[in-house]
């Protein structure tokens, strides 16, 4: 489920960590794998929050119904939320329950009760909740409501803060993983039952996930193996500029780009260049995209001349091409 662009960013984080605190390749590889699999824990925690919220809603509705002096609405409550068909089917799904067990992704316990109770009170005051209670009962309505509830929970600050406290890396990844989960939940339909396949962020049962992870693992190892070589290449192409003044993140990105250009013949050069320009926008300085683009143009010419780039098919890159000249 994780895109290659996202995995490249995770490799970059690992390369940065090794640059700051050098470790053996085997240790770096182990740490990278651990961090990727930990994303399954985060993703499952996010989805399980949706199911637990409905459970808490049911408890609070029952409590209000048995108050000493309940209101009319409390005596005869609308139980659409705890009875939500989509959420109940999800809760009964074997894959979902297995993921929760594997990731220890439960929200039970006194330490979480108050957080979910406050979230429930806040949510019941929103127009989305009132519209749902007044809507016609159907799987489609329950499904759409669950998606709105998921968005609410993923933006609920106490829940976010709680998850951030569980891992230093999760704050950076939270919104991206939530987006993946939202699309996964949206793709489920009325056929959802106990046997429905529920993917996680990285799933060893999914061939594309396995291939993407293997790509990123090899990218990490090849990047770390050739740092001195790439440093020499960068120094050789700097004109009127000292190597020490180059942003350290740009150096790491160029290391990764060279590894990808030379070790992955099936990935077009254009894809690689575009990917590292985008990563420079996300992780480095404002001017880095221009520097990365210019240096990679020179690298591609140099590496081709040395016979170290062997690409075929679509996406071949022409460093001398300027799209403005065609206008």
Is residue 184 domain-shared with residue 239, that is, in the same domain? no
Predicted model pTM: 0.88
Is residue 99 domain-shared with residue 184, that is, in the same domain? yes
Is residue 132 domain-shared with residue 89, that is, in the same domain? yes
Is residue 196 domain-shared with residue 234, that is, in the same domain? no
- Give the total number of structural domains in the chain: 2
Is residue 83 domain-shared with residue 195, that is, in the same domain? yes
Identify the CA nearest to 124 among candidates 48, 72, 61.
61
**Domain annotation covers residue 240:** yes
Is residue 185 domain-shared with residue 104, that is, in the same domain? yes
Per-residue confidence in pLDDT tens, the chain, 327 aa: 899 999 999 999 999 999 999 999 999 999 999 999 999 999 999 999 999 999 999 999 999 888 888 887 778 889 999 999 999 999 999 999 999 999 988 887 777 889 999 999 999 999 999 999 999 999 999 999 999 999 999 999 999 999 999 888 899 999 999 999 999 999 999 999 999 999 999 999 999 999 999 999 999 999 999 999 999 999 999 887 788 899 999 999 999 999 999 999 999 999 999 999 999 999 999 999 999 999 999 999 999 999 999 876 555 566 654 544 443
Domain that holds residue 231: 226-314
CB 270 within 8 Å of CB 317: yes
**Domain annotation covers residue 283:** yes
Identify the CA nearest to 32 among candidates 178, 148, 202.
202
CA pair distance 205, 240, nearest whole angstrom: 52
Is residue 188 domain-shared with residue 275, that is, in the same domain? no
DSSP state of 106: -
Is residue 50 domain-shared with residue 191, that is, in the same domain? yes
């Amino acid at each position: 489920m994780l895109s290659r662009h996202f995995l490249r960013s995770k490799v970059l984080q690992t390369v940065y960590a090794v640059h700051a605190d050098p470790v053996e390749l085997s240790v770096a590889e182990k740490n990278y794998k651990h961090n990727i699999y930990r994303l399954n824990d985060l993703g499952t925690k996010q989805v399980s929050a949706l199911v637990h919220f409905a459970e808490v809603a049911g408890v609070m509705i029952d409590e209000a119904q048995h108050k000493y002096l309940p209101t009319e609405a409390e005596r005869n409550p609308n139980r659409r939320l705890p009875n939500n068909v989509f959420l109940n089917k999800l809760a009964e799904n074997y894959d979902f329950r297995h993921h929760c067990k594997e990731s220890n992704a439960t929200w039970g316990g006194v330490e979480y009760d108050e957080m979910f109770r406050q979230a429930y009170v806040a949510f019941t005051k929103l127009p989305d909740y009132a519209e749902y209670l007044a809507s016609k009962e159907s799987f489609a309505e329950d499904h759409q409501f669950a998606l709105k509830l998921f968005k609410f929970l993923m933006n609920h600050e106490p829940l976010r803060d709680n998850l951030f406290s569980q891992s230093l890396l999760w704050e950076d990844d939270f919104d991206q993983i939530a987006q993946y989960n939202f699309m996964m939940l949206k793709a489920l339909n009325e056929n959802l039952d106990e046997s429905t396949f529920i993917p996680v962020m990285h799933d060893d049962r999914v061939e594309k996930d396995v291939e993407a992870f293997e790509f990123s693992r090899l990218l990490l190892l090849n990047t770390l193996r050739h740092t001195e070589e790439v440093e020499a290449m960068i120094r050789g192409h700097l004109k009127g500029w000292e190597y020490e003044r180059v942003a350290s993140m740009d150096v790491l990105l160029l290391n990764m780009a060279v590894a990808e250009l030379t070790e992955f013949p099936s990935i077009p050069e254009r894809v690689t260049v575009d990917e590292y320009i985008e990563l420079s926008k996300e992780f480095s300085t404002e001017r880095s995209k221009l520097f990365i683009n210019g240096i990679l143009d020179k690298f591609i010419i140099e590496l081709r001349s040395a016979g170290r780039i062997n690409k075929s098919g679509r996406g071949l890159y022409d460093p001398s091409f300027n799209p403005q000249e065609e206008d």
